[in-house]
Amino acid sequence: MKKVKINLGWDKEKIHCELAQKLDFPSYYGKNLDALYDVLCDICEDTLIAVEGQSDYGTKLLAAVEDAAEENDRIKIEILQEDNMTINEAKEKLYALQAKLTAYNHATAVLYFDGATTAPKGTGANRAQTLAVLSGEIYKLSTGQETVQLLEYLEANREQLEEKENRMVYLMLKGIRQMQKIPFDKYVELQQLISEADDVWHRAKDESNFEMFCPYLEKMFSFYKQIAAWCAPDKDPYDYWLGEFEEGLSKAKCDRFFSTLRSRIVPLIAKIKEKQQVSDDSVNGYFSEEQQAQFAQYLMDVMRLDKNHCGIATTEHPFTTTLGTHSDVRITTKYHTDNLARSMYSVIHEGGHALYEMGVADEFAYTVLDGGVSMGIHESQSRFYENYIGRSRSFVEYIFPEMQKIFPQLEGYTAEDVYKAVNKAEPGLIRIFADELTYALHIMVRYELEKRVMAGEVEVKDLPEQWNKMYKEYLGVDVPNDKDGVLQDSHWSGGNIGYFPSYALGSAYGAQFLRKMKETVDVEKCIAEGNLAPINEWNREHIWQYGQLYAPSQILEKTLGESFDADVFCDYLEEKFSEIYNL
């Protein structure tokens, strides 16, 4: 193996001369970055280039060497740590690195948010191009030799790091080691596919045309199978992706969880079908977008969302995103003028996500610890506020006077009418409009279909047919079109394969969090008085403040002092709906 050591702080002439001499470059070598790239790509012998120091030109030269190393696997780069670098200097570099990555991710998040909210429909390709460039820079910065050397140096000196710094290093190295298994060009290609697929999905849903979206979804599933094979060749592809969204989750665990829900929820739904259905007339009618927008602002106030740091916008499929750090969070909703409850509960649901993000400790800003630890824990918070608080009788009774002011259409109805309307249990087509009881059945359909596609048992082109079949089997409803069927969710267009089970898990986690919270907080009293501060503070103390400092299992253990138990969730559902329907 040929070896050369250079200092990037040397002048241009000296660096090129050293490289040419030690690596036997041809006599016609031009001593410029393009020439350097060309000769390195042609090298046929294993070559190690060790670098130290820095300068503006040196940074450009290192980039050229790294580009050549991507093309020629015989080129290896070693970033030498300065002999006199202290652990404190290494820590400073760690925080600087994370701040820079945060800046890049901030830019990509703004582009995504714009595309999903106010951007003209024909601008998706333009954003995709920019996102591809930014993603490439993120990839290089995240997996570059200098970054790896720094993190491995810190990992080797873990006893000198604080708990949070060890967690940062662990998470970053885990991500890097996964990204390094994905070819650079494929990583960039995937980011571009996600941007284009999201744009096409919006148009396909508008036109109820799955065939338009199908080629993109086929590429998406194919990509995710390949990534799983690269990152975890000995693991089932779907198990890999389930674990990425919820650490430790697998098909076996999901099968057990959903089996428990099915065994208890299906009989409960059957009993309710035999009873007289409650009326939801109070939330159906005409409610203008202006009225609903005013109501959304009120709900944000009740939830104690800080509007100096949390904004709201409209979109096709509601979501929450963080721009940069937890000090800038955006929630979205969609106003349905024929139904009051749909936007109401999307605001509360997304508001729960926002509270979690905004509740992370300030010391984690601009680091990888900023944000929720997993999709399951995140959904536990969104569905906690949507269902355990928002659909409670006490909450509806508290907000009803304000509802009457904003919506004169409610004249003649009572808070109890609205409470029963928003808890009407009846199988339907749309997941995000599903009631609290039947919601898990929607998740089971998506889980089963993802599992079968990832296993090669179902082809993407057959998803509409399989979707419609399972909705008839699981929920007893006929799907009239793709828009209200297989195209209703945005998740697959964003590459979130394996995400859906976290919704049901989140609901179940929330039931245990609520039971634990009631040991020290008078939850009913707080809700009845419209004072959610003690509830928010409990969640902040036990969950939010930690960000990604602890794994999901650690959060559950620290907060609950017991293992996950799906029966707690089922007990809650049985008690609530038995009272509503007099079972």
Q: Is the pLDDT of residue 53 over 70?
A: yes
Q: Are 280 and 428 in contact (CB under 8 A)?
A: no
Residue 82 has pLDDT above 70, yes or no: no
Cα separation, 568 vs 511, whole angstroms: 6
**Which amino acid appears at position 454 of this protein?**
M
The model's pLDDT over 102-117, given as tens digits with 9 standing for 90+, comes to: 999 999 999 999 998 9
Three-state SS at 312: strand
Q: CA distances (Å), 320 to each of 341, 349, 577, in order?
A: 19, 9, 29
350 is catalytic: yes
Q: What is the CATH number of domain 251-581?
A: 1.10.1370.30
Please give the sequence-ordered ranges of beta strands (E in DSSP) within 53-176, or none if there are none: 75-79
Three-state SS for 473-529 is HHHCCCCCCCCCCCCCCCCHHHCCCCCCHHHHHHHHHHHHHHHHHCCCCCHHHHHHC
R_g over Cα of the chain: 27
| 52 vs 163, more confident | 163
272-321 pLDDT per residue, tens: 989 999 999 999 999 999 999 999 999 999 999 999 999 999 998 899 99
CATH fit for domain 2-79, picks 3.30.370.10, 3.60.21.10, 3.90.850.10, 3.90.1150.10: 3.30.370.10
| Tally of residues, the chain | 583
Catalytic option among 350, 386, 436, 574 = 350
CA neighbor of 532 nearest in space, from 335, 392, 322: 392
Looking at residue 492, its pLDDT comes to 95
| Residue 371, pLDDT score | 94
Q: Which residue has the higher pLDDT, 123 or 352?
A: 352
Answer whether 349's CB lies under 8 Å from 434's CB: no
Confidence at residue 157, expressed as pLDDT on a 0 to 100 scale? 85
Residue 146 has pLDDT above 60, yes or no: yes
The count of other CB atoms within 10 Å of the CB of residue 536 is 19
Q: What are the residues whose beta carbons fall under 8 Å from the beta carbon of 105, sequence distance 6 or more?
A: 138, 324
Residue 169's pLDDT is what? 96
The alpha carbon dihedral of 304, 307, 309, 314 has a sign of positive
pLDDT at 191: 86
**pLDDT tops 60 at residue 83:** no
Which pLDDT band, with edges at 50, 70 and 90, does 178 fall under?
Answer: confident
Give the rounded percent of residues in the chain with a pLDDT score beyond 90.
Answer: 80
Over the stretch 541-580, which tens digit does the pLDDT of each residue have? Answer: 999 999 999 999 899 999 999 888 999 999 999 999 999 9
Contact between residue 545 and residue 359 where contact means Cβ atoms under 8 Å apart: yes
What kind and span of H or E run contains 313? strand 310-314
Gap between the terminal Cα atoms of the chain: 78
- Mean pLDDT value across residues 446-455: 97
Interval 499-520: pLDDT, tens: 999 899 999 999 999 999 999 9
139 dihedral zone (left: phi>0; alpha: psi -120 to 50; beta): alpha
Parse the chain into domains and list their residue ranges: 2-79, 87-234, 251-581
